[in-house]
Amino acid sequence: MDFFAVGRDSPNRKQVVFVIDDDDAVLGSMRFLLTVQGFEAKTYSTAEDFLESVAPTETGVVVTDVRLPGLNGVALIEGMKKRGLNLPVIVITAYADVALAVTAMKQGALDLLEKPFDPSALIDTLRQAFSRMSQKGGVASEQTIRDNLSSLSAREKCVLQELIKGKTNKAIAAELGISQRTVEVHRANIMKKTEAGSLSALVRMAMILEGKPS
């Protein structure tokens, strides 16, 4: 990733971002990027280190790789709940770990980013997270979500159900007996019709309609 490609506009005040990744090079790059953008970066190599170091009174946003040595991203969220750490979590996932990331979303993760991602996408996601924290809003109404989902074709709804389960395009194609390219087309149509913009938004919509995470 080109961490130098992002603009240098900083938030008006220091906002803390807790970064968890077992790759020291990634931690160093993330620390540099966040510092340049005006955030205060606190980095940890394991979920256990984070949980032992952060107090319930601290505020900020957590950015974690979903696959970690020891506790993974899902177990991290569970551990945070047990310790009373009410911090938004942004999950970073490789394509092969989409199912795990979807589980993290259902456990309460705020958002997810799929690798490789543009550094500007991370910064935008962080700023949206801090904005939601201050405004306590930004979620589409249930009726709007229902209206958007009702515009999907029967096949698109089938693809959506599989996406929400965390399945890859290849797995969905095999399940539905269609080509992977057809799945990609349906997925693009779903994103457009629902105005979701990301897989995490789709999962969030499903969670709202279900009432509570499964």
Average pLDDT over residues 138-166: 80
pLDDT band at 135, cuts 50/70/90?
Answer: low
55-80 residue pLDDT tens: 888 999 999 988 888 888 889 999 99
The model's pLDDT over 14-24, given as tens digits with 9 standing for 90+, comes to 899 999 999 99
Mean pLDDT for the stretch of residues 93-107: 73
Q: What are the structural domains, with CATH classification, of the chain?
A: 16-135 (3.40.50.2300), 142-210 (1.10.10.10)
Q: What is the pLDDT of residue 96?
A: 57
pLDDT at 94: 75
Residue 142 has pLDDT above 80, yes or no: no
With a cut of 70, say whether residue 137 has pLDDT above it.
Answer: no
Rounded CA gap, 193 and 110, in Å?
22
Kindly state the DSSP code that residue 35 receives in the 8-state scheme: H
Consecutive H or E run containing 17: strand 16-20
DSSP run (H or E) holding 208 = helix 199-210
User: Exposure pattern of 10-30 as b/e (b: 16+ CB <10 Å)?
Assistant: eeeeebbbbbbbeeeeebebb
**The pLDDT value given to residue 18:** 97
Across 35-128, the runs of DSSP E, i.e. the strands, are 40-44, 61-65, 89-93, 111-114
| pTM passes above 0.75 | no
- With bands split at pLDDT 50, 70 and 90, how would you rate the model's confidence at 208? low
